[in-house]
Structure 1
Amino acid sequence: MANPPNGGTESRGGPKGAPAGDGRGAAAVRKLGLHTDPSIFFVSAGLMVAFLLLVLLLPTQINDAFTAGRDWIVTNLGWFFILGVTAWLIFLVWVALSRYGNLRLGGDDSRPEYGNLSWFAMLFAGGIGTVLMFWGVAEPISHFANPPQADVAPHSVEASREAMNFSLYHLSLHTWAIFTLPGLAFGFFIYRYNLPLRVSSVFYPFLKDRIHGPIGKTIDIFAVLGTLFGLAVSLGLGTSQIAAGLEVLTPLPDSVGTRVLVITVLTVVAVSSIVAGLDKGVKRLSNLNILMAVGLMLFVLFFGETVFLFRQIFESTGRYLESIVGLSLWNDSMAGYTKDGGWGWQGGWTVFYWAWTVTWAPFMGVFLARISKGRTIRQFVGGVLLAPSVFTVVWFAVFGWSAMRIDGIGGDGGALTQKVIEEEQVPLAMFEFFSNFPAVTLIQGIAVVVVALFFATSSDSASLVVDMLCSGDEDPGPVRQRLFWGISEGMLAASLIVLGGDTALAALQQVITVIGLPIFILACIMMFSLAKGLKQESHAVYALQFKEMQRRARLADEAERPSEEAVAQKS
């Protein structure tokens, strides 16, 4: 195993507890009792505060700027997002099946720290749990009532099948490929090369020791900001759904003020888990969260059309796998001839999903690497790609097909279509859906709690990771340091809600598409960096194996060669 120069403890800025760097930044870090890289921490925090001030002082101008930026990106670079994620998925499958699959994320004798169940619960709850709760009903109904393909009739059998295919395309293998690629790269370079726990470490094959300089720190600052904005979008979606649920269950109206109140309360819950740390806080919340989510899914499965749903789980899996090649490369290039032109549908769905998800790539990558240390590359890729994807298929088959059956396949649409499409009340879709089941108030209340827990697990996981990205150390930093990031995430999410007002979802899409572009470019370079690192590792392993073969051959030759004493006796 090759160890790069200036890696290991030297790259961490000294012994644990000593702040990295020197000069005024290091003095400020020591004075505040922090353990972090001053350049990354203060610049990231300063840029975030500057954005919050701009939103407060110039909301209209900021909104217009993000709208123009998003329109340009989806029109000119939408194809780049679609091709890029597909390339990452193919690359990951190749790596897992290649000779590199047996390499461990860590030393050759390292073993996993977490059991499979806790590992899956943490990666899922920290990943797209909020997304599945928000879109589990809303996305299939959206595509069912407004099919992406122009020649498909709304609410038809074909529309229902297409709706399920697109929903699975957006939230199964491709989404988890966006998480798996950085997770694999971080685990490989951080634990096998003993580099700091930072995004810049992934680019060591290209940058070498410059990962510790201005270029590396710039990459890390982008990663921290991307993580904060990506989380803010997820928290915004989750908050919208919680506020919609509270409007159904309580006298509270679904307003901007209610959403800000929800963010405030849940941020307090999240920072409480942050203080407890990864093993106690995140692990416990994640396990509870996944159990409650599975409970909701089983409720729908057994109190709905059970036989029909079991059949659709298998059939939807087959149709998804059958269509995945076409979906992976389809970019609606004929939109100008068949519809209104432009990137309207795919810009609002696929490109938004990939831009949004990739802003989570630094957070999820470091988080996955941290909880996956000791696993082989094949175990990591197989687990992170396949296990959540299988769960996603089952989740959408249960919720999506139930929703489309309730809305009326072959008809003109029902209450769900009215809420999601006509009234554009997307956050209410799940609650309208549950109104068709027994114990409606209880189930809607449980749904609100599940979304809130997903909110908390996402927030506390991201806060711990942002702290790690700034310090370069997997050990938790001081409590005040982690509290700062947890509170900051809540404030950023609240500011985006206020910026968007009644059209908060559209505003969140615009912001995240613009922020996601530079992170997406970094992730593309990351794939080539990982390929180069694996190749160098392979050469080093082969060199050691060749030397070992030579040594054994020499010993065997010496054992077979008669000794001088035996030759003398024979003569």
Structure 2
Amino acid sequence: MNGKAPDQARDNIPRAPDAFAGGHVARTDFVVFGTTAAITVAFVMWGVLSTGSLARMSNAALSWLVTNVGWGFVLAASGFVVFALWLAFSRYGAIPLGGDDEEPEFRTVSWIAMMFSAGMGIGLMFFGVAEPLAHFVEPPPGTVPPLSDQAIETAMATSLFHWTLHPWSIYAVVGMSIAYSTFRRGRRQLISAVFTPLIGRRRAEGPVGRLIDILALFATLFGSAASLGLGTLQIQSGMQSAGWIGGVGNAVLVLIIVVLTICFIFSAVSGIARGIQWLSNINMVLAALLAVFVFVAGPTVFVLDLLPMSIGDYLRDFGEMASRSGATGGAAMNDWLSSWTIFYWAWWISWTPFVGMFIARISRGRTIRQFVSGVILVPSAVSVVWFAVLGGSAIHIQDTGIDVFRSGGEEAQTFAVLETLPLSAITTVLVMVLVAIFFVSGADAASVVMGTLSQRGSIEPMRWMVVFWGAATGAVAAIMLIVGGEDALSGIQNLTFLASAPFAVVMVLLCVALTKDLRDDPMMRRGEKGAQVLEQAVIAGTRRHGGDFQLEVGPAERREDV
């Protein structure tokens, strides 16, 4: 039985033009750039001229948002996990992020290294020891007794909850949306372009789209500045531990920020292949060496026992951790959530424009299923091992009577653990180098992405634009640290949360836009058309020949109008 095939020429998706892969002249969108730059400069001046009023405002706004909007972050973060995994296992998982015949641009090893380094490398260095240790000594309110066996289980489960499926699903949603929109549909590499199927091209390129890109710029700026602040605190603590500096103050912090800012701006203008990829590969090797050293020199058997237990506890307590809110714990739970879970969700969301655009840029040619598997499962597995080695070692040392937890702030605890192991002078320097390179390899990507958002989706924005946003990141990071006062981390947490709240709404709507786009994908239309044609052919064959017939493919008969 013959049947017409779908119109391949009409349904084939075109490859994204070269303009979206680099090679065109960048044009600045002065509405997006000018508005964001002006507000950023005003914010920096506010922090310089009236630090106290900025601190009071951020504390008051944070308190209101956590009480009234915190539930939204909790629901949205878990919703992104479900959405990303659903796409991977659904029929949409076979859709490529590019043309039907495209091959991946980067080797898998380099792809994972760049993605991981840009995604959360600096955070793992800062919280790898600090978070499990904090939950062991001071568990979430109303859960388990401190310093108990149950506290070990809760500490590891809570740490994995914050660092595995949730953050990488948040990244995957935005990265997948941008990669599909750019490389499959041929649109500009902008957050606003993803909304084309939802609001139409005219609105996506008009005031509504520009507002979306401005919110993405703010989220990226504050998320990158938060990472710079964390890296600065940890490098300062490492310099103290190594005996390189004595007393500390704002001058030392600002000097570290200036040096790091110069380094990542230089890396950013060198390009992805020569800068980010090179640094990412080096850092993955150094991080692996550090983890292996701590594993061998530290409590090896305890860490091995901790690995399967942590995974089991994470899966067992997943529902409880995902539903924690002030409804059951009151003010104490709200304070804990604002310092941990909600801060993390805000931090990850603030990073999504830049991490999403960056991993979209390096993921061309992979299918949605490959993308989700690589972006969520591989980094999550690495995080499990990392927290078991670093966090497990810290818990074991604390449990034996050495008070690592009160050795200083979160930034100092990693060095306190290393001091209990051999070769501490070498490993202390290694950690500082890792923190610096992790930040540089992430922040240079962020500077390029902010330039992309400012220059109508250009993947190769002008150098002056990259330099401007790099300098702005350093300035905002300095203000964050100064606003926090003695507890510099609180200033980072407060301002990150405030900057990311509007973009969380954008992300929810983005999921709707992507779903609508995928339903109309040419591959889905061809599949539906093929199933329809086959069903019609079988029905016709059964009517004409009973159960004894075969289907054949041949040229369509031409009909001439009489």
For the criterion TM > 0.5, the same-fold answer is yes
Deviation of 1:220 (Å): 0.3
Asked if structure 2 preserves the Cα contact closer than 8 Å seen for 1:9 and 1:15, the reply is no
Asked if structure 2 preserves the Cα contact closer than 8 Å seen for 1:416 and 1:433, the reply is yes
**Of 122, 128, 131, the match for 1:130:** 122
**Of 405, 419, 422, the match for 2:407:** 419
Superposition map of 1:342-361 within 5 A: 343-361=334-352
- Taking a change above 3 Å as real, the CA distance of residues 551 and 219 of structure 1, as seen in their structure-2 partners, is same
The match for 1:376 is 367
Q: Deviations over 1:434-466 (max 9, x none)?
A: 010001111111111111111111110111111
The one-letter amino acid paired with 2:453 is L
The match for 1:193 is 185
Superposition map of 1:50-449 within 5 A: 50-209=42-201, 210-249=203-242, 250-336=244-330, 341=332, 343-408=334-399, 414-419=402-407, 425-449=409-433
d(CA) in 1 for partners of 2:151, 2:26: 59
Deviation of 1:200 (Å): 0.4
d(CA) in 1 for partners of 2:533, 2:32: 44
d(CA) in 2 for partners of 1:407, 1:164: 15
d(CA) in 2 for partners of 1:434, 1:558: 69
Tell me how large the CA RMSD over aligned residues is.
Answer: 2.8
TM norm structure 2? 0.89
The one-letter amino acid paired with 2:495 is V
- State the identity as a percent: 35
- Taking a change above 3 Å as real, the CA distance of residues 223 and 94 of structure 1, as seen in their structure-2 partners, is same
Deviation of 1:349 (Å): 0.8
Unaligned 5+ segments in structure 1 are 20-35, 563-571
Unaligned 5+ segments in structure 2 are 1-7, 541-549, 558-562
Deviation of 1:342 (Å): 5.5
The match for 1:494 is 478
Deviation of 1:8 (Å): 7.1
The match for 1:16 is 24
Q: Deviations over 1:115-154 (max 9, x none)?
A: 1111111011101111111011111111111111425211
The one-letter amino acid paired with 2:311 is T
SS at match of 2:466: helix
Deviation of 1:499 (Å): 2.5
d(CA) in 1 for partners of 2:237, 2:556: 85
SS at match of 1:343: helix
SS at match of 1:416: coil
SS at match of 2:168: helix
d(CA) in 2 for partners of 1:384, 1:561: 44
Deviation of 1:281 (Å): 0.2
Deviation of 1:549 (Å): 5.6
**Of 492, 516, 527, the match for 2:500:** 516
Deviation of 1:105 (Å): 0.6
Q: Deviations over 1:223-249 (max 9, x none)?
A: 011100011011101100101111121
d(CA) in 1 for partners of 2:357, 2:439: 19
d(CA) in 1 for partners of 2:553, 2:181: 40
Deviation of 1:333 (Å): 2.4
Q: Deviations over 1:388-446 (max 9, x none)?
A: 0000000000111111110016xxx64212235xxxx1210101110100011111111
The one-letter amino acid paired with 1:80 is G
Superposition map of 1:520-559 within 5 A: 520-537=504-521, 540-542=525-527, 545=530
d(CA) in 2 for partners of 1:79, 1:561: 58
The one-letter amino acid paired with 1:525 is L
The one-letter amino acid paired with 2:425 is T
- Taking a change above 3 Å as real, the CA distance of residues 146 and 466 of structure 1, as seen in their structure-2 partners, is same
User: How many aligned positions are there?
Assistant: 534
Q: Deviations over 1:20-48 (max 9, x none)?
A: xxxxxxxxxxxxxxxx2222222222221
d(CA) in 2 for partners of 1:239, 1:122: 22
SS at match of 2:99: coil
- Taking a change above 3 Å as real, the CA distance of residues 455 and 390 of structure 1, as seen in their structure-2 partners, is same
Q: Deviations over 1:252-281 (max 9, x none)?
A: 433221111111111111111112100110
Between stretches 326-335 and 156-165, larger displacement belongs to 326-335
Q: Which segments of structure 1 move beyond 6 Å, counting only runs of 4 or more?
A: 1-4, 7-12, 550-562
The one-letter amino acid paired with 1:368 is I
The match for 1:462 is 446
Q: Deviations over 1:138-176 (max 9, x none)?
A: 111111111114252110110111011101101111111
Between stretches 485-494 and 184-193, larger displacement belongs to 485-494
